[in-house]
Structure 1
Amino acid sequence: MKKLFILLVSVLLFSFNCSAQSISSGNYKGYVDAGYSIGIGDYEFGRVEINTSHGYQFNPYFFLGAGVGLHFMPSYETSGMDIPLDVRDSKVDIPVFANIRSHFSKGKFAPFADLKGGTYITNGGGLYIIASVGIRYALNDKQGLSLSLGYTNEKLEFEVFDGFIDHGRMDYTRDKKQYNTEAIAIKLGFDF
């Protein structure tokens, strides 16, 4: 876990150092967003999320890049149970993803749509997808703030209760399974 944290910090520091540079045939663009995802559906796991994406701004309307995130799930145990039915290795998930963003205007306030898709590199992997819509407020020619609302679909790995070894004792086994989890994400962002 320490190696993954060091890798994440290194990527973030490198990306901020690159923000002053521009790509010769176009423009470099970076995004950082943070917020909270409210769990919905069968598994209501809320989580705090921080994501950063970096890539190429083709024109004022279209961005294509890649990113990494740090997601923290404070609680994921089965409610009302002394022994949780579903457990995880860690409360921290790190997704890596491709990112497409489209702005619909160039004004001071610009609506946008954003799509991130990738996989988790922690806790057994799993699919990560979030589709968002929002509004961007331009601070100047290169920087802006944004507010977005999105729908997240994730496939997360859990160790689930499998069965009792002996009915006379309470010893049991667990099996690894991936569950689809859904959430509504509210995020504040900064771009540079």
Structure 2
Amino acid sequence: MHRILLLLCLLLVTTGVCAQKGYQDVIYLKNGSVVRGMVVEQVPGVSIKIETPDRSVFVFAMADVERITKETIERGAVANAGVSRGYQGLVAVGYGIGVKQYGLDRAKVDVVNGYRSGPHLMAGLGYGLRAYTGDTAATLLVPLFVQVRFHFLDRKITPYLAVQGGTAFDANDGFQTMGPLFGGELGVSIRSGKRTMLHFGPGFELQSLRTYREGDYASRYRPVERQVNSGAVDINVGLAF
């Protein structure tokens, strides 16, 4: 009777422990990345397919895999998927030096709220601030834009390409529409955590601006307004989270 009670107690304890823990497959890649989830397909010596907790599916060549293990996880705990999808924010600052005839120097601040669809692609809506120096009617602009970022490699250090387009508003004139804004950036991204990345790179920005020139006899000597494209080569530093 005592042995039966002891056996029942052991079964209850074991069941409780097993109920609190589960197992997950863990793939360690040679580039340093770690992907956790469930292996759904494996072709010996060729490739392996894994589904992460957020239902992302990744396929890796076996030549890129260092080792595959099975590890315990606590039920209810958030599994570290290695690469994931979902919301991603970005804050960036930069400074541009004007180029060509109407180029103006500018200080830049951008904030982007986006969606990351995996280790390579992120797209989002952004807003920012541009402080211009030079002979122009607008010295402070607030741009609204769409930005797309592409990381070429799923590694800790990877080159990236970012493009954006939108319009800017004149903070000096009741936030009247100033004109279209376009920009591009090519740089290097360094993964500093599961979801955090540091960005650094040069870029180019083109902003349509209103300027004024002195009037002549035809305009009765009143200032004449015109739109010009102001370009700048810039350096940018950002943090994605």
Q: Give TM class, smaller chain.
A: 0.7 to 0.9
Inter-CA distance 157–124: structure 2 relative to 1 (3 Å threshold): farther
Structure 1's consecutive aligned runs of 4 or more residues displaced over 6 angstroms after TM superposition are none
Inter-CA distance 24–95: structure 2 relative to 1 (3 Å threshold): farther
- Rounded Cα–Cα distance in structure 2 between residues aligned with 1:27 and 1:152: 28
- Rounded Cα–Cα distance in structure 2 between residues aligned with 1:38 and 1:24: 44
8 Å Cα contact 2:167-2:177 kept in structure 1: no
8 Å Cα contact 1:93-1:120 kept in structure 2: yes
The one-letter code matched in structure 2 to 1:137 is I
Match of 2:230 in 1: 181
The one-letter code matched in structure 1 to 2:223 is R
Inter-CA distance 24–176: structure 2 relative to 1 (3 Å threshold): farther
Please point out which of 94, 98, 103 is paired with 1:39.
98
The one-letter code matched in structure 2 to 1:174 is P
* Aligned pairs (5 A) from 1:111-190: 111-122=159-170, 124-163=177-216, 172-190=221-239
- Rounded Cα–Cα distance in structure 1 between residues aligned with 2:152 and 2:177: 37
- Alpha-carbon RMSD across the aligned residues, in angstroms, is 2.2
Please point out which of 117, 129, 140 is paired with 1:70.
129
The one-letter code matched in structure 1 to 2:134 is Y
- Rounded Cα–Cα distance in structure 1 between residues aligned with 2:164 and 2:215: 34
Inter-CA distance 24–42: structure 2 relative to 1 (3 Å threshold): farther
8 Å Cα contact 2:98-2:232 kept in structure 1: yes
The one-letter code matched in structure 2 to 1:99 is Q
Write the deviation string for residues 91-113 of structure 1: whole angstroms up to 9, x where unpaired: 10111000100001121111100
- Rounded Cα–Cα distance in structure 2 between residues aligned with 1:138 and 1:24: 22
Q: How many residues align?
A: 155
Write the deviation string for residues 138-178 of structure 1: whole angstroms up to 9, x where unpaired: 11111111101111111111122222589xxxx93112211
* Partner secondary structure for residue 154 of structure 1: strand
8 Å Cα contact 1:165-1:173 kept in structure 2: no
- Rounded Cα–Cα distance in structure 1 between residues aligned with 2:118 and 2:97: 33
* Partner secondary structure for residue 94 of structure 1: strand
- Rounded Cα–Cα distance in structure 1 between residues aligned with 2:55 and 2:240: 20
> 1:44 Cα deviation (Å)?
3.0
Q: Which has the larger radius of gyration?
A: 2
Q: Percent identity?
A: 25
Q: Structure 1, unaligned stretches of length 5 or more? A: 1-22, 78-86
Q: Structure 2, unaligned stretches of length 5 or more? A: 1-53, 57-84, 171-175
The one-letter code matched in structure 2 to 1:33 is A
- Rounded Cα–Cα distance in structure 1 between residues aligned with 2:127 and 2:205: 15
- Rounded Cα–Cα distance in structure 1 between residues aligned with 2:55 and 2:112: 19
Structure with larger RCO (C-alpha < 8 A, sep 6+): 1
